[in-house]
Structure 1
């Protein structure tokens, strides 16, 4: 029943921020590809420029060879001369070019440019190769920073928007929560009076056909009341575990519901092992037992039968409730909040949802088997730790 504004805002900020962010990444990716293309073009132009410079240096070398020739060296670039058989005449290139087709080429992390030379003119070389290491990390870093900035800005903006958007819901939820708590307080007193006075009347004047109906209806209301009370308080209260005599606990709850079952002449049969104990919180255990039993009775046919079993299976405890009632068309949905298979039979669709929350929180195994028109079986496995 508690509306968490921060969780609501963060959840939808992540969802919508991610969607918008992905959409905005498309132009960023296009921009990144464009920048990579520009970077490649700049690298190619730089290699061509260095090749021209090397050729000019070789052109200025005296034809008589009277002076030693110092091959030009440029920061960030490497050059080399290769003969017609692609053997190096002189090279500073840190790799063997895989091919000597004229033009711009890629080789791993390097880019290189091949310039054909006139035969017999430059030291017997036929090819000039100029290379440089290609490093686009700066472009990717900028793109990553821009993407991160986009996501962070979108997340903050959408979080702020949804946080403000959630305020009316938070207020409505608070008022609804207060209304439920006040209503439950008002219901508790007359419900207790009905139960007590029905018992007193039966003791003083004897039972009649109306008293069991009144008591059964009051117990049904009490089960719904206890479910609502648990829903309202479960986020604010702690539920410590204790060692519970499950055998005694279950038999008491079965006796409690026999009056409810008697209205439909439903027989409750028990197969309960003696001395079965579990480490559990009694409030949560009662919600499991009460909701399972009340649903089995509610969906049973007139003069039907409900079988209740409690068995010790090694360290585990098996609790099972089976009915021969109407069964379920969609047993997979039975634990959904507000889901009701048959709206004509009453209820709010919250009892088994509470049960599902409890068993998931406490690590209790649960299995539901149902055949429409034949009945349903709920099996719970409580895992006790070996001492």
Structure 2
């Protein structure tokens, strides 16, 4: 900017020096310091003492030829002769920021053009490189949806028919076989429901109603008793009667199912599961392996698994978290290694 202004300032200074020369020669005739509406000026002697000034800025920096001070541009020139005793001539013009604004606009314009170009190139390249992954995920998603759809009918048929069998009329050996089939079918059913929930992206329309949570907990415990029996796990129920919660029956059942399922899965042989319910919360506590603090921080992340010795896909607690968020339920987890885990759901 200063370089662009230098030519104009040079012209102004030459004009002023010419007028100073004329005044110096004809001092008795004029006796009036030359002024110009296009610029302000000042003259200083060889000791840098002020002779006369129309400058707005009081301080002058003699170390520079051109500089900006107090929003004014200054230009210093030394005349070829000491006209009126002047060794230095200073020209002052306003800094109108025209050139700075122009440069700023150019920077913004070219930056936007460059960013747009790079964004388009980046978008094209990312689509190109991510296409195989996107196709694979699409195929996997279709496979899960098709699989879960095909599993529904046989699972429902197995569970329904097992429930219709009167186990008391069977001999002990056959009853144990039927019981194992029942456990396997319920395990697959629970996985099926989890996958269905995820493939629908939690977009199932909630049919909220006042539900008796006491009865639901009893029903879910009864459902999982056959699974718990395999590991000789005992249920301890401390449930207050007629505790109601406004929510969707399927979703709250799914939340409870996943908590009980995990309590059975990670429990020790001949352990226990304590389920408590009162007016503002319910808790499910097991006597299993427990978890460290690092695992607790990632507990509700999808596909997180902390023990590969047991089955599962690491999606159960993620579903619990999604349902809890929908109904503003607070989940508190406490766990100790080799002592067990307690999960409390509050509202």
Q: Which bin holds the TM-score, normalised by the shorter protein? A: 0.7 to 0.9
1:237 CA displacement: 3.5
Shift of 1:131: 1.9
The aligned counterpart of 1:345 is 310
Closer, same or farther: CA 68–281 of 1 in aligned 2, 3 Å = farther
In the alignment, is residue 146 of structure 1 matched against residue 113 of structure 2? no
Structure 1 residues 150 and 375: CA distance shift in structure 2, 3 A: same
- 1:201 matched to 2:165? The reply is yes
Structure 1 stretches of 5 or more lacking a match?
A: 1-38, 383-387
Q: Take 2:152 and 2:63, find their aligned partners in 1: how far apart are those partners?
A: 93
Matches within 5 A, 1:82-161: 86-87=49-50, 89-91=52-54, 93-101=55-63, 103-115=65-77, 121-122=83-84, 127-134=88-95, 135=97, 136-161=100-125
CA distance in 1, matches of 2:13, 2:145: 85
The DSSP-based 3-state class of the residue aligned with 2:345 is strand
Residues 257-268 of structure 1: pairs in structure 2 closer than 5 A: 257-268=224-235
Task: Report what 2:284 is aligned to.
Answer: 321
Once the two structures are superposed, the pairs formed by residues 1-80 of structure 1 within 5 Å of their partners are: 39-44=1-6, 46-61=8-23, 63-65=25-27, 66-67=29-30, 69=32, 71-73=34-36, 75=38, 77-80=39-42
- Paired with 2:313 and 2:141, the residues of 1 have a C-alpha distance of 17
Distance between the aligned counterparts of 1:326 and 1:211, measured in 2? 30
Moved more, 44-53 or 142-151: 44-53
* Cα distance per residue 1:122-176 (max 9 Å; x no partner): 2x65542212333212212211121122222222332344345544444433332
Cα contact 2:2–2:67 (8 A) shared by 1: no
TM-score normalized with structure 2 length = 0.85
Change (3 A) 1:184 1:242: same
3-state DSSP of counterpart to 1:345: coil
Match for residue 365 of structure 1 among 317, 326, 330: 330
Structure 1: which 4+ aligned runs deviate by more than 6 Å? 117-120
The 3-state SS of whatever aligns with 2:304 is coil
Q: Distance in 2 between matches of 1:361 and 1:197?
A: 35
Higher relative contact order (CA 8 A, sep 6+): 1
Structure 2 Cα separation of the partners of residues 86 and 310 of structure 1: 93
- Answer yes or no: is the 8 Å Cα contact 1:86–1:100 preserved in 2: no
Superposition deviation, residue 258 in structure 1: 1.8
Shift of 1:55: 0.9
Alignment of 1:299-338 (within 5 A): 299-312=266-279, 317-329=280-292, 330-338=295-303
Q: 1:266, CA displacement in angstroms?
A: 0.6
Structure 2: 5+ residue stretches without partners: none
Aligned to 2:262: 295
CA contact (8 A) 1:89 1:125 kept: no
Give the Cα separation in 2 of the matches to 1:146 and 1:162.
24
Q: 1:41 to 1:182 in 2, by over 3 A?
A: same
The structure-2 alpha-carbon separation of the partners of 1:102 and 1:209, relative to structure 1 and needing over 3 Å to count, comes to closer
Choose 1 or 2 for highest CA Rg.
2
Instruction: Give the C-alpha shift of residue 297 in structure 1.
Output: 0.8
Aligned length: 337
Structure 1, residues 259-298: CA drift from partner, whole Å, max 9, x if none?
2111111111122222322232233222211111100111
The answer as to whether partners of 1:102 and 1:116 remain within 8 angstroms in 2 is: no
